[in-house]
Structure 1
Amino acid sequence: MARGFVTAEEVAKRAGVSRSAVSRTFTPGASVSQAVRRKVLKAARELGYRVNRLAQGLNNDRSNLIGVVGTNLSAPFISKQLDLLSIGLLRRGLQCLLLNAADARKDIAPLIELLFEFRAQAIVVLSGEPPSSIVDECIANGVRLILVNQRLDRTDTNMVLSDDSHGADLAALRLIAAKCQKVAVVSSASQTPAQVRRATAFTQRMQASGVDVVAWSDGPTGYESGYQAGCDLLRDKKIDGAFCVTDLLALGFLDAARIEMHRRVPEDVSVIGFDDIPQSGWKSYELTTIVQSLSTLTDNVLTALETDEPATRLQVVPVSMIERKTVR
């Protein structure tokens, strides 16, 4: 049977000090003499002792854990977001406790309740909408709740949103400038708040400009769904433009247009995505897309974690268009 972790009691015995002296040595700001500190640190090195940070946090009624809840974690945009967020947390002496909500069936309340049990000091929700009862419980327990690219009709929750409507408007104006006469807007069956905002703003702008719009939404938010959308929509030879609400959908749509439906891009059909994932810049795609700065989004989340202000903040991350080679 494998041996358990070295305990503080064993360190105390080796150093010839009390258990409380070991605890004070590894507690920032605690009072302990230099002589005792040297003895404890020497014994800890010899034994291979590591502090139990989780237990230490529970003793203080608050851990250094930041709970992060999300779905579709393998998607390039989400994985990059997690990469930046986890690095930012580590630099601040915090730890990321990641919970995959893929099987939560749109009810993420049980996952957030689990984070309460770990005494997480804050919770970042990347996808899924927490019910009001959970928001109330966060407030009652002093746990800061931050929603990313989701908006609740409340004034006591931190929200960080990309400017989806403006981004969709930019996409619409660009396709209008390309003289598209009939366009498609492609989203997935998940119909996340961000996807709905983007599709709605795009459709409104196009309709106001007298351009016909065909909506398509099916399957998961991924390449395969975008490919299927291209196959389904481009049977209509009049469709000469498409706005895909994520880049993964757009990349699938592009391949379907070129490979399956034998449509030239951008000569026959212009395509715009949203997110600017790394693959969008690959030479085989060179996708024109809407950019939301992940570094700015992450900085806003970290700022919301650190602020002492009441949780009534709505932070909007600006977007812009990056022109490549998929629009006339």
Structure 2
Amino acid sequence: MSKVTSSQVAERAGVSQSAVSRVFTPGASASKRTVEKVKKAAEELGYRPNSLARAMVSGKSRIIGLVVAYLENHFYPEALEKLSNALQEQGYHVLIFMASNNAENINSVVEEILDYQVDGIITASVAMSSELTKRCRKAGIPIVLFNRSQDGPDLSSVASNNVEGGRKVAEFLIAGGHRKIGYIAGWEGASTQRDRETGFCAGLAAHGLSLFARADGDFKSEKAAEAARNMCQGEDRPDAIFVCNDHMAFAVMDVLRFELGLSVPGDVSVVGYDDVPIAAWPAYSLTTVRQPANRMVSETVELLLAEIDATGQGPQKIEIDGPLIVRGSARVPEGWST
């Protein structure tokens, strides 16, 4: 069976071939009657437009490369779904690429992305080297970092206000009467980890306190669980722990309750960061800082499309404040408004 062409659709619909092209080009103008005639003819003939051919003619693939390092953190699958839906609403297709946070792997992934002639790149939980940034810019492909930021003025980024989020946790725990406060960190190379800890320690210092204990969780549940065992198995343990994200906080709570026999929050208060859906489940009822995912997605898509269309104002760094969501995993200060 030979492939149906746009000229055959045009002949069946009684319109020009350019009219068929406009009907199947996102954003192009065509009358309602023309659209109806063309789509009816296309359905009858079994015609599908050739997106690759159109991309070769227009120089635009309408494809966005979405790079993510890991999906174990429940925040990212939900965020990626929102990003994909928002981009599709604007007529773009999304290709998801998995990468690890090491230079060799990221180089390889970016090479593959460039082969697809994408119009733009969004990276989530991935750090971009200055060399990769230069290569993408040379190829005319804009990049926006999602839930990450990098020093320097070259890349646009969208994240929650992680410094302020960490400070809010410190204020909350201190107001609840905690003084022996521990922290379980994420991956040390992540701006989210750095900024959350910076804000948290600044909040403690404002009240004359410093970290009672600190351990590395690397954004991995098994490492966070081990950190909780080491931190809390003795008598001289923290009375509260701020965990750098919810994914690790769930593992910490499980260790405290089911391995060490401690009460949460009776013996140890636990606070996370992200407010993923599981945080609200009664099994965890996790007090956490909410990442405003909908606004972060909206700002990311708006920034990227403005750069693709050359209507942007240059690289921007956007931080969006998120509220502290108070539930049952941490002692609630007297008179605290939830």
Q: Same fold (TM over 0.5)?
A: yes
Aligned residue number for residue 321 of structure 2: 318
Pair 1:44–1:285, CA change in 2 (3 A): same
Question: Alignment partner of 2:323: what SS?
Answer: strand
Superposed counterparts of 1:39-188, under 5 Å: 41=39, 43-102=41-100, 107-188=105-186
Alignment of 1:185-224 (within 5 A): 185-189=183-187, 191-208=189-206, 209-218=208-217, 221-224=219-222
Change (3 A) 1:211 1:127: closer
The TM-score with structure 2 as length reference comes to: 0.84
Partner of 1:243: 242
2:241 is aligned with what amino acid?
A
Report the secondary structure of 2:297's partner residue: helix
Helix, strand or coil at the partner of 1:159: strand
Letter in structure 2 aligned against 1:68: L
Q: 1:139-196 CA distances to partner (integer Å, 9 max, x unpaired)?
A: 3333221012322333232111211111111111111112222221112456422112
Question: Is this contact kept in 1: 2:162–2:196, CA < 8 A?
Answer: yes
Secondary structure of the residue that 2:61 maps to in structure 1? coil
For 1:246 and 1:182, the matched residues in 2 are separated by 20
Contact 1:71 1:101 in 2 (8 A): yes
Instruction: Mark the CA change 1:292 to 1:116 in structure 2 (over 3 Å): closer, same or farther.
Output: same
- Equivalent residue, structure 1, for 2:305: 306
Contiguous gaps of at least 5 residues in structure 2: 332-338
Which whole-Å deviations, capped at 9, do the CAs of 1:72-116 have from their partners, x for residues lacking one? 124210001011111111111111111111486674233223222
Question: Cα gap change, 1:255/1:57 in structure 2, threshold over 3 Å: closer, same or farther?
Answer: same
The amino acid across from 1:8 in the alignment is T
Equivalenced residues, count: 322
What residue number does 1:269 align with?
A: 268
Amino acid of the residue matched to residue 315 of structure 1?
A: I
**Aligned partners of 1:116 and 1:198: how far apart in 2?**
33
- Greater CA deviation, 107-116 or 57-66? 107-116
Q: Deviations over 1:169-228 (max 9, x none)?
A: 11111111122222211124564221122123323432452244211114x524333322
Q: Is the CA contact (8 Å cut-off) linking 1:58 and 1:119 kept in structure 2? A: no
**Match of 2:293?**
294
Which digits, 9 at most, give the CA deviation of each residue in 1:244-293, with x for residues without a partner? 00001111111111111111111211111000011111111111111121
Question: Which ranges in structure 1 are unaligned for 5 or more consecutive residues?
Answer: none
- The equivalent residue for 1:285 is 284
The question of whether the paired residues in 1 share the 8 Å contact of 2:4 and 2:46 is answered with no
The percentage of counterpart residues that share the same residue type is: 28
Distance 1:59 1:326, change over 3 A: same
What one-letter code is carried by the residue in structure 1 that aligns with 2:5? A
- In 1: Cα distance, 2:184 partner to 2:178 partner: 16
Judged with a 3 Å threshold, the aligned counterparts in structure 2 of structure 1 residues 100 and 35 are, in CA distance, closer, same or farther, namely closer
- Indicate conservation of the 8 Å contact 2:6/2:49, yes or no: no
Cα 1:11/1:306, change in 2 over 3 Å: same
On the 8 A contact 2:184/2:243 being kept in 1, the answer is yes
- Shifted more, 16-25 versus 87-96: the winner is 16-25
Q: What letter is aligned with 1:301? A: T
**Superposed displacement of residue 46, structure 1:** 2.8
